[in-house]
């Protein structure tokens, strides 16, 4: 299952100093709520991405706690004002202790 988890990040092209960018992210994940039953009638164990944190050049810019009501393959968007080139670092935490990371470089024009 862990091989199926893939974070994706999309940022606007050619940002300039002072721009407010809409950052879009999606992580492929089944997000099992723990309330569904399999074909044999057994409860499928809960397994969700329960937290996301984003930093820009090491400074926090976004964080969130996710609950079982979030759909599979959760999509999030948020805004960041950029004053310098740098790295957006994303970290998603799973119920099973797994941590998924991704980075996206932002270069100001």
Provide the whole-model pTM.
0.89
Q: What is the mean pLDDT of the chain?
A: 94
Structure tokens at 48: 């969700």
pLDDT of residue 63: 98
Determine contact, residues 103/88, Cβ cutoff 8 Å: yes
Q: Is 59 helix (H, G, I), strand (E, B) or coil?
A: strand
Position 7 pLDDT exceeds 90? yes
CATH code 2.40.50.180 for 2-106: no
Position 2 pLDDT exceeds 70? no
Question: If you average pLDDT over residues 8-24, what whole number do you get?
Answer: 97
């Amino acid at each position: 299952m862990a091989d199926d988890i893939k974070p994706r990040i999309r940022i606007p092209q050619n940002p300039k100093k002072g721009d407010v960018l809409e950052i879009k992210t999606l992580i492929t994940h089944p997000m099992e709520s723990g309330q569904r039953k399999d074909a044999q009638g057994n409860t499928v164990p809960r397994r969700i991405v329960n937290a996301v944190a984003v930093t820009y050049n090491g400074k926090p810019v976004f964080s969130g706690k996710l609950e079982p009501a979030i759909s599979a393959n959760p999509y999030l968007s948020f805004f960041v004002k950029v004053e310098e080139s740098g790295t957006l670092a994303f970290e998603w935490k799973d119920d099973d202790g797994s941590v998924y990371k991704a980075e996206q470089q932002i270069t100001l024009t």
